[in-house]
Chains A and B, each alone.
Chain A
């Protein structure tokens, strides 16, 4: 395939940035989207140009490092991580726009790389169970109903890629935060801190400049791990319960 990719280039936080058009050739359908960018970068380096910076690591859809907006959609046309999108999703001659996550909470570092450390700080505010390391009660001491364990897992599967924020018209981090609150609050081990957790995490989310949630649902449409939309309602319920 021959393609035209228009990519956001920005040398750093001080640069205004612009879209730059590149022609790429010899793209095969079984290549991943990131392998297409690899091909482009190898060409750029060989021609003495600056390669496109983008985050990626595991390239198997679990580390959450990769993530760009492709033709206006976070992670592109299929609901998966950018690294798991393959070029068979495109056709010969296509023009593809590639941009970084755009949100107040995620400042651009360079090209397609953004700073998502705000998500780490939300977790630091209360996204954990205070279990001292090194000693713990016997694992079978507290049975967990299978349904609760499954619900916890469905939320714990979040990879922290930030697509939910990028997709949200308000730049809200509600899906991310609600998934962690739900994962921990539904488990008996997480109950003792349930009120403080939700209050602290929501406060941290607001401090980081993420927008408010208006239930547009764009987040779940872009979430590669299909986090439940209902978790946002659960967070609101937990928040109200804790605020009483």
Chain B
């Protein structure tokens, strides 16, 4: 294959951000956005898919505003969405420390951290809203860490030099999610949210070019149901599980956004995936998922490898001067707190060069020896106790005595459905929030920013902008007998029946593992043209093989976990191809997208702003169509990122 399998379409642009000073844009948009009379809101139904931070906060807020909300999650309870697993913290420009933080600095850090591939308008709004999120969470009873005076404690995180990260031990995501879940529970009890747990979206219903509902499967009975509404909000998270092994929950999937993409929603920057530097290395071929150790550990832990390749001595037998604290050596001003993409790649380079430790040499040390000596074990226990326990449970090694071993793993996807400033996709009436959209993190997300974005989108942005959409449009009733509704339902049913009828010889997991390995090797921490082309030939073959020889036992009208998985993997097999095409077309390195052909002499990512200062926005078709959204930087001057 010598030419790229895609077409080029017309550029797209964000027409919703007001053309006023950066600081006034959100204020202006809130003023220009149409309002919906509170008495009329209950006549409008809004579907929210997903109950993570973005979905739960959006559902609770829309219901509180008076909309009739229909909400779904595939888990048995909305409290289990994978936001629950976020450990480290949430950023906010409160400047409680008086250490020079400000909205502008958080904005600047996020744009820079994203390697200048995000939209200034969106990121500024995120920074602006960040302070209100903390207020909201505290009012809900989220038990953040506090100082003895009763005020909130903060800590620092990768990629920044101020202490703006609020936290609740190592369970910040859980506590923020429970806050949102409880707010949602209050609305469920009030009858304003119709909650469907163990229910998975199968497809989007698009009538006259607008999103008017979804079809879904009750995962217990297998019944396929239709839900019609005036607007649909997808809060279904990222697609990191396309790699099979990731830090995502086993059920996390891309089906909602991928089905929406096939129905007309453009997909932005699919190749922008984040590899998290501090995960527990895999222990064998049986591995079913990877576990992250919060990046906050890098505040007190020091990362090193032996100076000699293949050194098999136990770490306590390696004297100080025979250790290479390579991050501190290479990046003296940020040290162990460089952004995730840089820390991950540095670890990979050390291991590739033979300095890695542990089984297969796929690990580096994260050592708390100095911190324990300096601060005492109780202080370290108070900060990271649960993380140390988790590490010990999984590896059977005591990190108070022996340095942790860590290795990078797929953690987050910056890419997602394209949205404008209103968080509306290219399908009118379809809004996309949280990790499911592409909006705020550019080519690399800073730590403690995912929680911030999910809650900003859900509590503050979409409840405002959806009013404008609903207030500006009229909505004729869409009856269940509408031909489009009927057809969408038949399509979904037919696909499940086809999966059940193949009756092949290979399990769903075996295909998923093979796909994941292929992507990890060719579209993971570093990518090159020949590898991407090779994978681009292999993925369609694997997909064909899947549809020919997968084995899905059981029936459709029952709890059938293999059918659920098969339906998700079928979508991953399509999404993977778009990721590869996107990675191939972006002939530059930026953030988490590292093309080996494009690096500085020091091995750092080398951007090409002249050709690639844009969002790659893909339209679905027999061959994907590339639309570009040019990025303009009026307030932050793109520079070669430097953390030395």
Q: Are the C-beta atoms of A134 and B463 separated by less than 8 Å?
A: yes
Q: Are the C-beta atoms of B150 and A144 separated by less than 8 Å?
A: yes
**Residues 101-124 of A contacting B (Cβ, < 8 Å):** 109-110, 113, 115-117, 119-120, 123-124
Q: Are the C-beta atoms of A55 and B76 separated by less than 8 Å?
A: yes
A-B contact pairs, 11 of them (CB 8 A): A49-B553, A57-B249, A57-B251, A64-B80, A116-B76, A124-B188, A134-B136, A134-B463, A136-B136, A139-B94, A146-B150
- Complex interface: stretch among B485-493, B516-524, B557-565, B615-623: B557-565
CB nearest neighbor in A for B64: A133
Chain A: minimal CB distance from B35 (Å)? 14
- Compute how far the CA of A30 lies from the CA of B396 in the bound complex, rounded to whole angstroms: 9
Given A53-B561, A63-B249, A136-B136, check contact A127 B182 (CB 8 Å): yes
Contact bitstring A176-213, B, C-beta under 8 A = 1, else 0: 00000001100101100000000000000000000000
Q: Are the C-beta atoms of B152 and A139 separated by less than 8 Å?
A: yes
Which residues on B are within 8 Å of A, measured CB to CB? 57, 60-61, 64, 75-80, 82, 84-85, 94, 96, 132, 134-141, 143-152, 168-169, 171, 174-175, 178, 181-183, 185-186, 188-189, 197, 220, 247, 249-251, 283-284, 286-289, 291-292, 390, 393-394, 396, 459-460, 463, 505, 507, 509-510, 551, 553-554, 558-559, 561-562
Does A62 interact with chain B (Cβ within 8 Å)?
Answer: yes
Which listed residue, B188, B394, B509, B559, touches A53 by the CB 8 Å rule?
B559
Which listed residue, A65, A140, A190, touches B141 by the CB 8 Å rule?
A190
CB nearest neighbor in B for A133: B61
Q: Are the C-beta atoms of A119 and B250 separated by less than 8 Å?
A: no
Q: Are the C-beta atoms of A59 and B186 separated by less than 8 Å?
A: no
Q: Are the C-beta atoms of B139 and A129 separated by less than 8 Å?
A: yes
- Compute how far the CA of A125 lies from the CA of B149 in the bound complex, rounded to whole angstroms: 33
Which residues on A are within 8 Å of B, measured CB to CB? 11-12, 28, 30-32, 34-35, 38-39, 42, 45-46, 48-51, 53, 55-65, 80, 84, 86, 88, 109-110, 113, 115-117, 119-120, 123-125, 127-134, 136-140, 142-146, 149-150, 152-153, 156-157, 159-160, 183-184, 187, 189-190
Residues of A within 8 A of B459 (CB): 133-134
- Compute how far the CA of A40 lies from the CA of B178 in the bound complex, rounded to whole angstroms: 34
Chain A: minimal CB distance from B467 (Å)? 12
Given A53-B559, A156-B175, A187-B143, check contact A45 B85 (CB 8 Å): no
Q: Are the C-beta atoms of B183 and A128 separated by less than 8 Å?
A: yes
CB nearest neighbor in B for A116: B76
Q: Are the C-beta atoms of A58 and B146 separated by less than 8 Å?
A: no
Residues of B within 8 A of A152 (CB): 141, 143
Chain A: minimal CB distance from B238 (Å)? 14
Q: Are the C-beta atoms of B553 and A84 separated by less than 8 Å?
A: no
Chain B: minimal CB distance from A133 (Å)? 4
Chain B: minimal CB distance from A118 (Å)? 10
CB nearest neighbor in A for B186: A128
Chain A: minimal CB distance from B486 (Å)? 29
CB nearest neighbor in A for B463: A134
- Compute how far the CA of A109 lies from the CA of B198 in the bound complex, rounded to whole angstroms: 12
Residues of A within 8 A of B64 (CB): 132-134
Q: Are the C-beta atoms of B220 and A109 separated by less than 8 Å?
A: yes
Residues of B within 8 A of A56 (CB): 250
CB nearest neighbor in A for B82: A58
Residues of A within 8 A of B509 (CB): 38, 42
User: Given A31-B286, A137-B139, A152-B143, list of 16 further CB < 8 A pairs?
Assistant: A39-B286, A42-B507, A53-B559, A58-B84, A59-B288, A62-B174, A64-B80, A64-B84, A119-B77, A120-B79, A133-B57, A133-B61, A134-B463, A139-B135, A156-B143, A157-B171
Chain A: minimal CB distance from B283 (Å)? 4
CB nearest neighbor in A for B87: A62
- Compute how far the CA of A124 lies from the CA of B197 in the bound complex, rounded to whole angstroms: 14
- Compute how far the CA of A88 lies from the CA of B393 in the bound complex, rounded to whole angstroms: 10
Q: Are the C-beta atoms of B141 and A189 separated by less than 8 Å?
A: yes
Q: Are the C-beta atoms of A12 and B182 separated by less than 8 Å?
A: no
CB nearest neighbor in A for B393: A84
CB nearest neighbor in B for A144: B150
Residues of A within 8 A of B292 (CB): 60
Q: Are the C-beta atoms of B138 and A65 separated by less than 8 Å?
A: no
Which listed residue, B136, B147, B553, touches A45 by the CB 8 Å rule?
B553
Q: Are the C-beta atoms of A51 and B80 separated by less than 8 Å?
A: no
Q: Are the C-beta atoms of B135 and A138 separated by less than 8 Å?
A: yes
CB nearest neighbor in B for A127: B182
Q: Are the C-beta atoms of A80 and B175 separated by less than 8 Å?
A: no
Chain B: minimal CB distance from A62 (Å)? 5
